[in-house]
Amino acid sequence: MDLSYSDEEKAFRAEVRAFLEEKLPKEMSDKIRKGEELGKAGQEEWHAILNKQGWLAPNWPQKFGGAEWNAVQRHIFEEEAAAHYAPRIVPFGLSMLAPVLQKFGSQEQNDYWLPRILSGEDWWCQGYSEPGAGSDLASLKTEAVLNEEGTHYIVNGQKTWTTLGQHANMIFCLVRTDKAVKQQEGISFLLIDMDTPGVEVRPIILLDGTHEVNEVWFTDCKVPVENLVGEENKGWTYAKYLLTHERTNIAGVGFSQAGLTAVKRIARAEMAGGKPLMENPHFAARVARVEIDLLAMSTTNLRIVSKAAAGAAPGVESSMLKVKGTIIRQEINDLARRAAGAYAMPFASEAIEGSNLALPDPLNAGPVAAQYFNNRKLSIFGGSNEIQRQIIAKTTMGGGA
């Protein structure tokens, strides 16, 4: 047992820090710190900076142009990136589609799509959930029928909660290709060009006013058969593989650490009873409690990360980290809005770039209440916390639950 990082890991952290200090544009980190929307162009700019450094795809094997970092290195990067208020990496192409292509896609698909993900030529979004298929994803109804010539699938149906679909030109979808078999056995994994006639993207405005997610409708869309990934009707297997990737960094340790720093900063600026709120024993206790939880959780995360770095596939621990990690992040969001007092009330939003400039913000708190509401999504998406608990129960109680 040795709780300290190795010399190599420390050197790696120093390298990451130096990179962030030199290459992360200040106006970009300012925006992230203030909780402002980066926008498509800003996001692409950050991707390009990382790509130039060779760090855009930390989890990809080097032969595909990735950094091939181990889990500990990825963790160090995520921690430093959050501490420096770097934008997050938009995960859909890089860490959700790419691993599936690399494992199940053809040589041609990898040769064509992977470089375009790195260069930013394609912006991917994910077409999984449907209005009737949320937690019960396998009941999805969007169907793809092969035409008589066998050249194209004709796709009809609707996807929803499509994050940043408004920026995307490509969508990877789970579609039903066989209705006669068991639900899970009739699903395929299909890549669809969003410019195909019959694709329509409709915005969904979230409760904090942001346009983050969309509905995507398909009406008689012609999709070339070359865009099928792997085998027909094996999509569920691929999706499950992808979900294990979606759940790496699901603990959000870096976000929580940055969030807690922000809470303390706000609570030092906010006055209560003539003293900084941070000196109020009751508030300080709330902060300390979540800090203690975070310290333990980040250690759990490191334990799992170390195991993964040694080659073990994360199992039920991913679900545990998702549940605990999101509870902690949401608690920190709650503390931030609490700390801001009456100044949490103005409708500060990430919705419109620069829209918060006219708002009073003497605490320099940013849109804390909007973030509190927006981050209720953390325990809903990527497999709700109820689904995660079900996975934990099923796994640990041998199917008896």
Partner 1 sequence: MNFDLTEERQMLQDSLRRFLRDKYDTATRNKILESDTGFSADIWNGLAELGVIGALFTEDQGGFGGAGFDIAVVFEELGRAGVVEPFLDTAVLGGGLIADLGNDDQKAHVEEIIGGALQVAFAHGEPASRYDTNRVTTTAKVDGDNVVLNGRKAVVVNAENADMLVVSARESGDAGDEDGISLFLVPADAKGITLQGYALLAGGRAAEITLDDVTVPSSARLGEAGKAFKAIEARVAAANVAICAETLGAMETACRLTRDYLMTRKQFGKPIGTFQALAHRMSDLLIEMEQARSAVIVAAGHLEAGYKSRESHVSAAKNLLGRAGRLVAEDSIQMHGGIAMTQEYELAHIAKRIIMSDHRFGDTDHHLERYIAIAAA
| Out of 41, 180, 358, 397, the residue judged to bind partner 1 by CB under 8 A | 358
| Out of 112, 341, 382, 394, the residue judged to bind partner 1 by CB under 8 A | 341
Distance of alpha carbon 274 from alpha carbon 299, whole angstroms: 37
Residue 74 or 324: which CB sits closer to partner 1?
324
Q: Which two tokens stand for residue 330?
A: 């949401």
Q: Does 209 bind partner 1 (CB under 8 A)?
A: yes
Q: From residue 173 to residue 202, what is the string marking binding to partner 1 with x (rule CB under 8 A)?
A: ------------------------------
| Out of 43, 70, 109, 129, the residue judged to bind partner 1 by CB under 8 A | 129
Which amino acid appears at position 171 of this protein? I
> At closest approach, how far in Å is the CB of 3 from partner 1?
34
| Out of 136, 220, 226, 279, the residue judged to bind partner 1 by CB under 8 A | 136
Residues with Cβ < 8 Å from 234, sequence gap 6 or more? 104, 188, 189
287, 277 Cβ separation under 8 angstroms:
no
CB-side neighbour CA atoms (13 Å) of 238: 28
> At closest approach, how far in Å is the CB of 349 from partner 1?
8
| Out of 124, 128, 189, 283, the residue judged to bind partner 1 by CB under 8 A | 283
| Out of 59, 142, 379, 388, the residue judged to bind partner 1 by CB under 8 A | 379
From 8-16, 36-44, 45-53, 128-136, give the range in contact with partner 1 by CB under 8 A.
128-136
| Out of 8, 386, 395, 396, the residue judged to bind partner 1 by CB under 8 A | 386
Distance of alpha carbon 400 from alpha carbon 393, whole angstroms: 8
Residue 248 or 371: which CB sits closer to partner 1?
371
Q: Does 286 bind partner 1 (CB under 8 A)?
A: yes
Q: How many residues bind partner 1 (CB under 8 A)?
A: 56
- Phi and psi, residue 159, nearest 5°: -105, 160
- The H-or-E segment that residue 85 falls in is none
260, 287 Cβ separation under 8 angstroms:
yes
Helix (H, G, I), strand (E, B) or coil at 368: helix
Q: Which of residues 297-336 bind partner 1 (CB under 8 A)?
A: 330, 334
Which amino acid appears at position 325 of this protein? G
| Out of 16, 277, 321, 391, the residue judged to bind partner 1 by CB under 8 A | 277
Where would I find the H helices in 250-315?
A: 253-269, 281-309
Q: Does 385 bind partner 1 (CB under 8 A)?
A: yes
Q: Is 230 left (phi over 0), alpha (psi -120 to 50) or beta?
A: left
Which burial class, exposed, middle or buried, applies to 282 when counting CB atoms under 10 A from its CB (0-12, 13-18, 19+)?
exposed
> At closest approach, how far in Å is the CB of 127 from partner 1?
15
CA nearest neighbour of 64 among 122, 19, 116, 15: 116
Residue 43 or 330: which CB sits closer to partner 1?
330
Q: Which two tokens stand for residue 177?
A: 């290709």
Residue 155 or 335: which CB sits closer to partner 1?
335
Distance of alpha carbon 103 from alpha carbon 154, whole angstroms: 26
Q: Does 376 bind partner 1 (CB under 8 A)?
A: yes
Q: From residue 147 to residue 166, what is the string marking binding to partner 1 with x (rule CB under 8 A)?
A: -------------xx-----
- For residue 317, CA distances in Å to 101, 305, 314, 393 come to 25, 10, 6, 12
Residues lying near partner 1 in the complex (CB under 8 A) are found at 129, 132, 134-136, 139, 160-161, 204-209, 213, 270-274, 277, 280, 282-283, 286, 330, 334, 337-338, 340-348, 358-360, 362, 369-370, 372-373, 376-377, 379-381, 384-386, 389-390
